[in-house]
């Protein structure tokens, strides 16, 4: 089965509204010569406060080459949850994808596997696509429990989802020690872990579902690393942090994934 590649830019807590508009326009401008069908699925994930402005820039351009994601959501529909945004609210702002379970949210904001699972259900119930993050710490890698840890994160994140829901979801494998450090995980090792994740999906569901789900690599992805990463059998794209904040590096990564 051929899976459409995905290049997603996680802007994290960067960019005021005007910066977000400029970056969005810059990315679209950099892709203007390329036929939409030749492009990977290109996704940008601004902060909550820039989603409206970025969505407006995307709409005004109308090229449909870049899609919008949020970096987080809450799983309840509405109510007394001060400071949170529901999936419906994010959908209303133009989001088609929502990143959940990022290691920074797990580490600094106490996001648990159970919350990731509830968020995944709410996202899928609203017709959006979850980008489910997983990844091991350096201590876990050195202790030899990487596969066990990742398999556990994925099994818990997918609990009670249907095969159809899982098939259209996206997983991002982001080793924590590779995030923001400049130390990219070796491509063959990233591919090995991602193939292991695909096997977990196969054992929980079936071969078709495992073949359909897109699994990305994240962690210090750069223009220089993307070709080798994309050449691997099981890596379907990248979740890019730092290099997604500049038009040049992000568009080079998008083009490198073609
Ligand atoms: P960097 O690309 O900056 O390492 O960040 C990766 C990441 O956390 C994307 O979600």
- Three-state SS letters, the chain: CCCCCEEEEECCCCCCHHHHHHHHHHHHHHCCCCCHHHCCEEEEECCHHHHHHHHHHHHHHCCCCEEEEECCCECCCCCCCCCCCEHHHHHHCCCCEEEECCHHHHHHHCCCHHHHHHHHHHHHHCCCEEEEEECCCHHHHHCCCHHHHHHHHHHHHCCCCCHHHHHCCEEEECCHHHCCCCCCCCHHHHHHHHHHHHHHHHHHCCHHHHHHCEEEEECCCCCCCHHHHHCCCCCCEEEECHHHCCHHHHHHHHHHCC
pLDDT tens readout for residues 196-217? 999 999 999 999 999 999 999 9
For residue 179, the CA-to-ligand 1 centroid distance in Å is 5
pLDDT tens readout for residues 165-198? 999 999 999 999 999 999 999 999 999 999 999 9
Using CA positions, which residue lies closest to atom 5 of ligand 1?
241
Instruction: Give the phi and the psi of residue 13 in degrees, each rounded to 5.
Output: -90, 70
For residue 79, the CA-to-ligand 1 centroid distance in Å is 32
Q: Which of 180, 222, 245 to mutate to test the pocket of ligand 1 (most atoms within 8 A of CB)?
A: 180
Decide if pLDDT at 1 tops 80: no
Decide if pLDDT at 31 tops 70: yes
Decide if pLDDT at 24 tops 70: yes
Span 47-55, average pLDDT:
98
**R_g over Cα of the chain:** 17
Task: Measure the CA–CA gap between 102 and 106, rounded to whole angstroms.
Answer: 6
Span 11-24, average pLDDT:
98
Ligand 1 neighbours (beta carbon < 6 A): 10, 102, 174, 179-180, 218-221, 239-243
Q: Return the structure tokens found at 137.
A: 């710490």
Tell me the whole-structure pTM to 2 decimals. Answer: 0.98
Asked if 147 and 193 touch (Cβ cutoff 8 Å), the reply is yes
Span 96-118, average pLDDT:
98
C-alpha atoms less than 13 angstroms from C-alpha of 6 in its C-beta half-sphere: 29
In ligand 1, which atom is closest to the CA atom of 239?
A: 9
> What is the average pLDDT score of the chain?
98
Task: Choose, from 111, 136, 165, 174, the residue flagged as catalytic.
Answer: 174
The residues facing 218 across adjacent strands are 239
Q: Which of 103, 108, 181, 219 to mutate to test the pocket of ligand 1 (most atoms within 8 A of CB)?
A: 219
The residues facing 69 across adjacent strands are 97
For residue 149, the CA-to-ligand 1 centroid distance in Å is 20
Give the distance, in angstroms, between the CA of residue 245 and the centroid of all CA atoms in the same chain.
15
Residue 174 annotated among the catalytic residues of the structure? yes
Percentage of the chain lying above the pLDDT 70 cut? 100
Where do the domains of the chain lie, and which CATH numbers do they carry? 6-256 (3.20.20.70)
Using CA positions, which residue lies closest to atom 9 of ligand 1?
241
Residue 33 annotated among the catalytic residues of the structure? no
Decide if pLDDT at 2 tops 90: no
pLDDT at res. 33: 95
Asked if 151 and 191 touch (Cβ cutoff 8 Å), the reply is no
């Amino acid at each position: 089965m051929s899976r459409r590649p995905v290049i997603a830019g996680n802007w994290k807590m960067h960019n005021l509204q005007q910066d977000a508009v400029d970056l969005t326009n810059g990315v679209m401008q950099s892709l203007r010569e390329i036929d939409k069908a030749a492009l990977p699925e290109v996704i940008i994930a601004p902060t909550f406060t820039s989603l409206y402005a970025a969505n407006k820039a995307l709409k005004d351009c109308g090229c449909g080459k870049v899609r919008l994601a949020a970096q987080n959501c809450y799983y309840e529909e509405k109510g007394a949850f001060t400071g949170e945004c529901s999936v419906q609210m994010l959908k209303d702002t133009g989001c088609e994808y929502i990143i959940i379970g990022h290691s920074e949210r797990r580490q600094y904001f106490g996001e648990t596997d159970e919350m990731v699972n509830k968020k995944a259900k709410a996202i899928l119930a609203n017709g959006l696509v979850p980008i489910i993050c997983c990844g091991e710490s350096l201590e876990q890698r050195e202790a030899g429990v990487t596969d066990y840890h990742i398999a556990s994160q994925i099994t818990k994140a997918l609990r009670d989802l249907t095969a159809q829901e899982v098939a259209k979801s996206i997983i991002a494998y982001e080793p924590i020690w590779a995030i923001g450090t400049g130390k990219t995980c070796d491509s063959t090792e990233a591919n090995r872990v991602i193939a292991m994740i695909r096997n977990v999906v196969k054992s929980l569901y079936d071969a078709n579902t495992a073949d359909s789900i897109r699994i990305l690599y994240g962690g210090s992805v750069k223009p220089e690393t993307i070709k080798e990463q994309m050449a691997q059998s099981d890596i379907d794209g990248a979740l890019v942090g730092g290099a997604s904040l500049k038009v040049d590096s992000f568009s080079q990564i998008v083009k490198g994934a073609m």
